[in-house]
Chain A
């Protein structure tokens, strides 16, 4: 379970996250949406204990994220938007490092690395011997996702996890997260790909300018907005008016 109470983050004069209140029960897969700069990644970084909030508080399974940071971190997994890894390490070395940081035994780490390599169809030769710098973006993303799951977390934060993944891996991943949620794991899924959120998430939270603009199931959002698709709901809540007309008008300026 995740609880956010008036969670706020202010950078100089900019309020990235503005008094957000949310409650996410165990086993729920929540799509966390918003336009660029809406505060999605900042919210996640506060929930993962990476940055300190300016005010407000957050709890994960009853543990205060700021006061009981180390205990909270044992419960969570995180896939960052940047997909950053230590590229000089091999995939195996990177996952061993992450596993050790979570305090896992080497034998357990090795066993889980094998399972992830099999699941993501990464050859053992690649994982064991090749530096991450030589991986494709998709292969690297598979390692990042494996790193987030290696300690079997109860809460998982995904920030644009499908970056670089091919169609079949995306399908496998979507099935995986649905099953993880069904097993009781709480998942916060940040994405711009509305189609995926529409089809996988139990609940959708849309934020804009750091505030919650909408919160509910897809059916509830449809009923409230009077729009049919999530794309239209999203645009109605977050974008300026007449987007299509403006795009059409702008395209005419290229007729030189």
Chain B
């Protein structure tokens, strides 16, 4: 499709070739929306003809928007505050989605081979990336705002123009988040080499997740702000809050041209224009050369020493090595363990997708500290949901890790699992699970243990609280392998998959593990509510052991882990 000539002319002023831009964006869209097939799939059913993950994600955001939009009916919230809340939600989901998805879009190593030699200007290439991400975030924003834009008409002081006004400002909200993150990446690419870029991206994503969560959840608590109680009037600090800028724009577009609304809208539009200018003029100018430099390296990675291998450690095999050999007795299990563990530690793609999730189990207890405090449950004989949520989040993050590690840019190398004589699929699954347990779950529990020990000044109480969760971890990890072949790093990643799977896992963990947490809360109180039935804590730990063993072996049998790795049908 050829863009209209006036657009081509306008883009040419920024050294962006409109036809090339349309072609590139078209290609990216096809990649995103068409079904991605792994290298030799286990089942024909796994062949997805459309991006089902993206559709599921959109469906969930439409539903969430429906729930949130309902507040326009059930409260006397005014249009400004309704819009601020919806914009906050939009910015939050868009930012988290883009953090999960953008790494490989902004910097795609293989693309340098494909496009690097073509006559595409740096700014055209950059604009295509920006537009590609914006179409993704715009779609998410549109889904989340579908119902709120309609229901907002019934907010206090709103009129029917709320619908188009909010729809437009929500898209601008998404554009701001996209431009901000893309520009940050661009600046980073300009400043650092390949090796540091990989590390900084991975770790900065954790910080960005915390920043967004802090802004979304903790800041209102620290400032003692409750939007539902405010629900009226304008505060000066809204000028510092991006969602409020776009809420102001909604009011202005709706015809409510009041000074504060114009001020908020002006700040929003100015920041957006400045960011766009910075992105295209500054970052976009040298974008291609940064990508090429990072793809083909500046030599840094070639000299990077990695930790000594088993071969190098051979002369002095220590106790840890012997314990590892005993725990990973079967060679195929050990092979899968080492592969997954290495990718968890070293692979950029895995780090970028997984590490931001690690912020969750630190975030939840922090949230509690800033809101209601976090008393020792064994002293007050009552448990704060937040302290259990931290442990629940570790289970969620571990399942997220399993999902992340199913995908890899190196998925073609998974042929080896089908060629090698692996007698039991369960050996590969077991190595995979154990690696996630050792490198994700146990460090997570160690962090929480330290935090709770410090807060409660009782390592014993911290250990008692976390013990049941450690016990059920093997059973929880089985869920990632239930009824399916889950080979590590064997599937090609498709946009939207991570965000949608994370959302599914989150909902699942929240519902199922909350029941387990509820039982634990009862055990901490020592009796079943409303009754006189005693429920001592030791019996809950024994119950956890029994539950974990039953689920672990039951699910293992149900998943047919004793079978061999079967040939693919595709």
**Are the CB atoms of B410 and A82 closer together than 8 Å?**
no
- A101: interface (CB < 8 Å): yes
Q: Give A93 to B413 CA distance when docked, in angstroms.
A: 14
Q: CB within 8 Å of B: which of A86-107?
A: 86-90, 92-93, 96-104, 106
Q: Give A204 to B339 CA distance when docked, in angstroms.
A: 39
- A121: interface (CB < 8 Å): no
Residues of B within 8 A of A66 (CB): 567
**Are the CB atoms of B309 and A128 closer together than 8 Å?**
yes
**Are the CB atoms of B342 and A84 closer together than 8 Å?**
no
- A51: interface (CB < 8 Å): yes
Write the nearest CB–CB distance from B403 to chain A, whole angstroms: 18
Beta-carbon nearest neighbor of A106 in chain B = B310
Say yes or no: A97-B343 contact (C-beta < 8 A), given A76-B419, A86-B410.
no
Known: A52-B566, A90-B306, A110-B310; 19 extra A-B contacts, CB below 8 A, are A51-B40, A51-B567, A70-B421, A70-B423, A88-B410, A90-B309, A93-B309, A97-B339, A97-B416, A98-B416, A99-B331, A100-B332, A102-B420, A110-B314, A128-B312, A129-B305, A130-B302, A130-B306, A134-B297
Which of A42-50, A179-187, A235-243 sits within the interface?
A42-50
Residues of B within 8 A of A45 (CB): 40
Q: List 8 A-B contacts (CB under 8 A).
A: A49-B419, A52-B567, A73-B422, A84-B412, A90-B306, A97-B339, A130-B304, A134-B297
**Are the CB atoms of A88 and B301 closer together than 8 Å?**
no
- A169: interface (CB < 8 Å): no
Q: CB within 8 Å of A: which of B540-570?
A: 564, 566-570
Write the nearest CB–CB distance from A203 to chain B, whole angstroms: 24
Q: Give A48 to B40 CA distance when docked, in angstroms.
A: 13
Say yes or no: A49-B335 contact (C-beta < 8 A), given A90-B306, A113-B311, A134-B302.
no
- B508: interface (CB < 8 Å): no
**Are the CB atoms of B422 and A101 closer together than 8 Å?**
yes
- B166: interface (CB < 8 Å): no
Q: Give A129 to B305 CA distance when docked, in angstroms.
A: 6
Task: From the candidates B304, B332, B343, B567, name the one contacting A49 in the complex (CB within 8 A).
Answer: B567
Interface residues of B (CB under 8 A from A): 39-40, 297, 301-302, 304-306, 308-312, 314, 331-332, 334-335, 338-339, 342-343, 346-347, 408, 410, 412-413, 415-423, 489, 564, 566-570
Say yes or no: A48-B421 contact (C-beta < 8 A), given A85-B413, A89-B339, A134-B301.
no
Task: From the candidates B40, B338, B339, B347, name the one contacting A50 in the complex (CB within 8 A).
Answer: B40
**Are the CB atoms of B412 and A101 closer together than 8 Å?**
no
Say yes or no: A96-B421 contact (C-beta < 8 A), given A66-B567, A85-B410, A88-B346.
no
Say yes or no: A110-B311 contact (C-beta < 8 A), given A93-B338, A103-B421.
yes
Residues of B within 8 A of A76 (CB): 419
Residues of A within 8 A of B343 (CB): 86, 88
Beta-carbon nearest neighbor of B339 in chain A = A97
Write the nearest CB–CB distance from A217 to chain B, whole angstroms: 29
Number of cross-chain contacts by CB at 8 Å = 136
Q: Give A74 to B306 CA distance when docked, in angstroms.
A: 32
- A34: interface (CB < 8 Å): no
- A152: interface (CB < 8 Å): no
**Are the CB atoms of B309 and A50 closer together than 8 Å?**
no
Q: Give A97 to B310 CA distance when docked, in angstroms.
A: 11
Residues of B within 8 A of A78 (CB): 415, 419
- A207: interface (CB < 8 Å): no
Say yes or no: A74-B567 contact (C-beta < 8 A), given A84-B415, A96-B310, A110-B314.
no
Q: Give A69 to B421 CA distance when docked, in angstroms.
A: 8
Write the nearest CB–CB distance from A16 to chain B, whole angstroms: 12
**Are the CB atoms of A86 and B489 closer together than 8 Å?**
yes
**Are the CB atoms of B332 and A129 closer together than 8 Å?**
no
- A147: interface (CB < 8 Å): yes
**Are the CB atoms of B415 and A50 closer together than 8 Å?**
yes
Residues of A within 8 A of B570 (CB): 11, 51
- A131: interface (CB < 8 Å): yes
Beta-carbon nearest neighbor of B431 in chain A = A100
Q: Give A110 to B310 CA distance when docked, in angstroms.
A: 9
Q: Give A110 to B314 CA distance when docked, in angstroms.
A: 10
Q: Give A251 to B360 CA distance when docked, in angstroms.
A: 62
Say yes or no: A103-B412 contact (C-beta < 8 A), given A49-B419, A51-B568.
no
Say yes or no: A92-B301 contact (C-beta < 8 A), given A51-B40, A51-B567.
no
Residues of B within 8 A of A131 (CB): 301, 304, 306, 346
**A-B pairs with lowest CB-CB distance, top 8:** A84-B412, A73-B421, A101-B420, A100-B335, A100-B331, A84-B413, A52-B567, A74-B421
**Are the CB atoms of A92 and B309 closer together than 8 Å?**
yes
Residues of A within 8 A of B564 (CB): 69-70
Residues of B within 8 A of A52 (CB): 566-569
Residues of B within 8 A of A104 (CB): 331
